[in-house]
Amino acid sequence: MVPLVAFQLLSAALFAIGIYGVMARRSAVLIVMSIELMLNAVNINLIAAASHLDGSGRWANFDGQIIAIFIITVAAAEVGLAMAIILRMYRNRSTVNVDEINLMKW
């Protein structure tokens, strides 16, 4: 039986990588991918926590799975939307480098 903390460590590592990606990458596409990574980190965490709820490894509670499925759905929609925005961005400004697109400031 793999202990819960292993899943959590994996999840935290994935999440940290995701954050790093969002912060460090310039390409909007890669930022979206990093966000996907963070979402999936959360998914792992949720499912692991749900399956370990009663300490015996049985599926005791479906809340985690349900939320994970929600997240997958939302993430899919989000990717679609994000890709559409990025496409429009590229059409308009011929770049997906977010450093060059800082219109939303003061």
d(CA 27, CA 66): 32
Question: Which residue type occupies 59?
Answer: W
Site stretch for another protein (CB under 8 A), options 2-10, 21-29, 58-66, 80-88: 21-29
Q: Which is nearer to another protein, 1 or 103 (CB)?
A: 103
The candidate with the shortest Cα–Cα distance to 44, out of 20, 75, 9, is 9
Site string for another protein, 74-103 (x = CB under 8 A): ------------------------xx-xxx
If binding is defined by CB under 8 A, does position 19 make contact with another protein? yes
Residues found in the chain = 106
Site stretch for another protein (CB under 8 A), options 20-28, 42-50, 55-63, 86-94: 20-28
DSSP state of 56: S
DSSP state of 97: B
Where along the sequence are the contacts to another protein (CB under 8 A)? Answer: 19, 22-24, 31, 98-99, 101-106
